[in-house]
């Protein structure tokens, strides 16, 4: 990237960081902490530090169906919990029919207008209470469960595609540009008048300087900016071509690691505005990068931390973001009063009645999925832990012990001292 573009990226990143009064109090300077990324990232992304492509994949019809199901699921859940103390067995049973439908629906059921077998079996067990839901046609079940005027029924009747849709309209991006890293949550569509992320925190996530300024967690954002093995993948609409202010319809952190000196990437859990957006991002990345490993797929199939191999990489420079003691911010829990918001006669437990917090301390990079990725508490190394059976199924050797990849990089003095000290 030319100097002017890199300077612009740093400037935008600083503007993002400055939304957090915690980061302002810490005197966080992006230009001082952004670190050059791993060689693999640099070779893959080139001077632009960024690439984009349109994924040629099919988007399941079921993904769009599940998106529409979200408000209905919430409605049935509210009815269920509001009536759980009453003798209202139908309310509870409808709630469970919806839950089973969410788990079992496939494109085939939608395209063939058939009810999933697990749903039919549950309806049968419920006897006369749900006898009006015994039809084998999915369309009739949806009307009985959600109502004829519901958005789910209207979509299924009038707009449901007859085939899976190819995902050629959106663009997938992979980037190590400073502002894309700093904006890992800030660029959620919510801040630009768009949708909330379906998962995460307050429509974005805890790494958002706007939504989480009151929490110490956001200080990890600066350590992420320092992290040479960290990049970001995100999805945008076709008309969203501005790389300086994108809207992340879905995003996931990507980390580089090495197996037998060969570069690989691990894809952490995504945040997304819809199930369709999530599917396009994940499947598009998997299609494009054969050396990419997705944590959710491993979690669904293999036991955690049993029969695994750990791949370890040292950082060239310690990634810990250090904030010296004596930097204070207003306590977000009591908003500076020093009193418990619910019990005013008691002192606030968060700040011990002081009304402010000392944010001094050491902060590690944010890791979206600590089941598979860890940054050592000293800030000197990153480890990725993968199931051996998964490695074997991928045609790779499973060495059954921790491997430390050979590197020509120099280990910084602080890291060396900490390692020698145990």
Q: H-helix or E-strand containing 222?
A: helix 220-226
Is the separation of the CB atoms in 286 and 294 below 8 Å?
Answer: yes
Q: Hey, what's the torsion of the CAs at 286, 288, 292, 297, to 10 degrees?
A: 0
CA distances to 59, 142, 156, 179 from 160, rounded to whole Å, are 13, 13, 5, 38
Is the separation of the CB atoms in 414 and 322 below 8 Å?
Answer: no
Per-residue pLDDT at 213: 58
CA distances to 68, 411, 417, 419 from 414, rounded to whole Å, are 52, 8, 5, 9
Per-residue pLDDT at 417: 46
Per-residue pLDDT at 306: 80
Per-residue pLDDT at 405: 55
The pTM score is: 0.79
Tokens of 107: 């494109």
Contacts of 422 (CB under 8 A, 6+ apart): none
Per-residue pLDDT at 403: 59
Per-position pLDDT tens, the chain of length 422: 788 999 999 999 999 999 998 999 999 999 999 999 999 999 999 999 999 999 988 778 888 899 889 889 989 988 888 877 665 678 889 999 999 999 999 988 998 899 999 999 999 999 999 999 999 999 999 999 999 999 999 999 888 877 666 656 789 999 999 999 999 999 999 999 899 998 888 889 999 999 765 568 899 999 999 999 999 999 999 889 899 999 999 999 999 999 999 999 999 999 999 888 998 999 999 999 999 999 999 998 888 778 899 999 999 999 999 999 999 988 878 888 999 988 889 999 888 999 988 999 999 999 989 999 999 999 899 999 999 999 999 888 766 555 565 444 444 544 444 544 44
As a whole number of angstroms, the distance between CA 287 and CA 205 comes to 27
As a whole number of angstroms, the distance between CA 358 and CA 213 comes to 14
As a whole number of angstroms, the distance between CA 359 and CA 302 comes to 39
As a whole number of angstroms, the distance between CA 296 and CA 404 comes to 25
As a whole number of angstroms, the distance between CA 281 and CA 234 comes to 7
Per-residue pLDDT at 406: 44
């Amino acid at each position: 990237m030319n100097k002017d573009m890199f300077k612009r990226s740093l400037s935008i990143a600083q503007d993002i960081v400055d939304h957090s009064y915690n980061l302002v109090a810490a005197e966080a300077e992006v230009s001082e902490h952004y670190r050059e990324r791993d060689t693999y990232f640099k070779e893959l992304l080139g001077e632009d530090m960024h690439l984009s492509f349109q994924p040629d994949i099919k988007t399941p019809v079921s993904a769009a169906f599940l998106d529409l199901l979200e408000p209905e699921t919430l409605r049935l859940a509210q009815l269920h919990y509001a009536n759980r103390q009453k003798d209202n067995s139908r309310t509870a049973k409808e709630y469970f029919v919806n839950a089973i439908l969410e788990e079992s629906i496939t494109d085939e059921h939608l395209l063939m207008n058939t009810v999933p077998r697990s749903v039919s079996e549950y309806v049968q067990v419920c006897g006369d209470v749900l006898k009006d839901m015994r039809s084998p046609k999915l369309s009739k079940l949806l009307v009985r469960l959600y109502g004829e005027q519901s958005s789910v029924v209207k979509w299924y009747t009038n707009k449901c595609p007859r085939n899976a849709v190819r995902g050629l309209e959106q663009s997938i991006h992979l980037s190590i540009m400073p502002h894309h890293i700093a904006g890992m949550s800030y660029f959620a569509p919510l801040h630009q008048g768009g949708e909330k992320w379906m998962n995460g925190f307050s429509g974005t996530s805890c790494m958002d300087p706007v939504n989480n300024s009151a929490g110490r967690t956001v200080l990890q954002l600066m350590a992420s900016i320092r992290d040479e093995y960290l990049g970001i993948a995100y999805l945008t609409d076709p008309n969203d071509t501005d790389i300086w202010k994108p809207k992340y319809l879905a995003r996931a952190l990507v980390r580089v690691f090495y197996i037998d000196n060969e570069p690989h990437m691990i894809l952490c859990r995504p945040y997304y505005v819809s199930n369709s957006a999530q599917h396009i991002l994940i499947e598009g990345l998997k299609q494009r990068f054969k050396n990419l490993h997705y944590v959710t797929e491993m979690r669904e199939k293999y036991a955690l931390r049993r029969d695994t191999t750990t791949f370890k990489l040292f950082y060239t420079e310690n990634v810990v973001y250090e904030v010296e003691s004596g930097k204070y911010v207003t306590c977000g829990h009591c908003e500076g009063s020093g009193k418990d918001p619910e019990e005013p006669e008691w002192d606030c437990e968060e700040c011990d009645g002081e009304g402010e917090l000392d944010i001094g301390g050491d902060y590690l990079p944010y890791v979206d999925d600590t089941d598979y990725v860890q940054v050592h508490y000293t800030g000197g190394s990153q480890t990725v832990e993968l199931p051996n059976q998964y490695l074997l199924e991928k045609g790779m050797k499973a060495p059954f012990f921790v491997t430390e990849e050979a590197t020509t990089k120099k280990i910084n003095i602080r890291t060396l001292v900490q390692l020698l000290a145990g």
